[in-house]
Structure 1
Amino acid sequence: MWDTWEWNGIDWARAAKGGPTACHGTAMAYDSFRGVTVLYGGAWGSYQYSETWEWDGSAWTKRAVSGPGNRRNHALVYDSHRKVAVLFGGDPSANSGDTWEYNGTSWTQKSVTGPGGRFYHAMAYDSDRHVVVLFGGSSVSFTQYKNDTWEWDGTTWTLRATTGPTPRVYARMVYDTARKRMVLYGGSDETAKRTDSWEWNGSVWTQVGSNNPGYRSSGAGMVYDTARNQVVLVGGTVQTEWRNDTWVRNSPALIWFFGQPFSITRNVGQEATMAVSAFGSGTLQYRWRRNGSELTDGDGLTGTRSPTLRIASVRTTDAGTYDVRVFNECESVFSNSATLTVPINRDDSIRALRIAGGMITATADDRTRLDVLKGASAGKIDIGDAVQLLRTAVGL
């Protein structure tokens, strides 16, 4: 078959017959800037193609451009920030580990290192963080299944994770723009046919949900419908049976941020607050963190379970990076990070000194500053040195 079909959220309708040669193992991506769908490569039997085609909603046009060469089972996504289609990997005579970009006029190979050669990998574009995310696949005739997660920012491939879904091929992945996370479904690993769903938030993978379309190997198509906030999956094969069923996955209850915490600078002893504004269904709960560790109320710290975090009297140990996890019964999301900077102030250090038993001692919170000022041991210096510090503090 070489016909083209379109989905309106309810029904499929044939849009055209003819166009690219009937093939399998091809890849497509939608160029939102030019309003065309780009198709590259594929195979029929043992013959592999190196053709670039574009669909404008009415007709297919073959583009007379040279490109990445014959291949199948590669991945192609569109980077809307840089306005290029990004292709990685595939299955020519030797497994490919090359990166190519297409700007609508020509293909350009990027001279970079990154994920090793592979095919049947999953790839999608994160339009909020402006990175291409790649997961899994296999190299060398299905003998080395992978579960590494890589990100491409247009310049460099970065390995982001080696844990999460099991090493697998045939997985499908799209970016949920409403919930700002990758959604990965199914595939096959070395021990089983998988029907699990996973989500990638840019930091960690989380397994989600239990209802699923059932297993299918190659040939399935999965996209994200931004008009209806749905993941749409169609077709695929189960052993020798070709499927034509269509499944949709609605985004669960959303949590939206309309106010993020922002970075601040506070001196020792001043009050500091950070706040977030969020909206979502049900009851929202909050968990503030500093440097990735969850906080609890106490010792001048309040609001760790509320939208507003308050530090009554800032200490040097309060400096760091803060964020908050907001969650309900269906979803958990993190705010942007914000930094609390606490500068070392010589006058504050001097005012905090106390005389005891012929020695001048700083409180525990001020020892770091005292060490910086005088190299003191355990926060103590003799009175003679303290006099010099006091002279320095008042400019004498």
Structure 2
Amino acid sequence: MLADLSLPPGIRSRQIPGINGLDMHVLEAGHDDPGRPLLLLLHGFPELAYSWRKIMPALAQAGYHVVAPDQRGYGRTTGWDSDYDGDLAAFSMPSLVRDALALVYALGHRSAAAVIGHDFGSPVAAWCALVRPDVFRAVAMMSAPFAGPPALPFAPADARIHEELAALDPPRKHYQWYYATREADADMWRCPQGLHDFLRAYYHVKSADWPGNRPYPLEAWTAAELAKLPTYYVMDARQDMAAAVAPEMPSREQIAASRWLPDEELRVYSSEYGRTGFQGGLQWYRCAISDRFNAELSLYAGRTIDVPSCFIAGAADWGIRQRPGALEAMQRKACTRMLGCHLVEGAGHWVQQEQPEETARLLLEFVGKAANAG
């Protein structure tokens, strides 16, 4: 049974067939006035189009056609294969960019004023702007810096980091490689505390509400440095993700006081993931750590994002520091026309949900500057 999305006024939900083999579910605002420029919003993991609900009305009120899809592998979008042993190429970055491109065209547009991505949606948005700058005229990356395409000569990932993490006391493992395992989906979907409580703890521990989120730059991609990350990024090797976040489950009083994610809104996520599981989103991580798919992306080695760009994240978001040097590389070389890098106070990883007014303000300021920049 589909959950009631309880959307803010002015946002509609609909299905759009024929999107690169998908029947794509989208949320849409500003759709009643033809001719508006398009803003395409791409969510991350474990999120949904619903994650943009708090800023879509403000963006539409400013004169934009605002569209947020459930991306491939998520929510009410269908046509993707959840089989762990299925065709992984369908979840590769070129396929995700084709999804976005096909959606733009299906909506009746031939370009987007900006593509805006959060979390894993951030690199998808970045690749959209890098590969098709004629269509994606500006890009806002949120919570996950984009350091550029893989370099040439391409070298397979160094497995020593995993051996070094495993040799720590206590032994650790990187969450992205854990997410690539066959067990990860069931670990979270069928976890002992129940899916709703797992998601509550997961969203809480990555938010500004959790006092442990005080990020600072790491020096290098070494086990000793990565071990400084919270255990939701570099996990205890003996635990799965549900066990990793369980000790940080907020109290009933904290949950009742949560204004950015009240329990009835969290219920949308737990209902949707209760239907689908997590494997669709986990396939993205499997592609991201794959030497095969990264070797293909090295075709773009040396290419930069040359459309106007910006970066927005929560000041309490460890995601901006999980790849040492990525934030600086994005500003220094990956993006040639960066118009701003903003760290929002009072927000952790879920910046557009934790601080929606400030996020919407920064995005509107950016797209206005980008339009004037030409």
TM-score tier, shorter chain, comes to under 0.3
More relative contact order in 1 or in 2 (CA 8 Å, sep 6+)?
2
Query: TM-score, structure 1 length as denominator?
Result: 0.23
Give the greater-gyration-radius structure (CA): 1
* Structure showing the higher helix proportion among its residues: 2
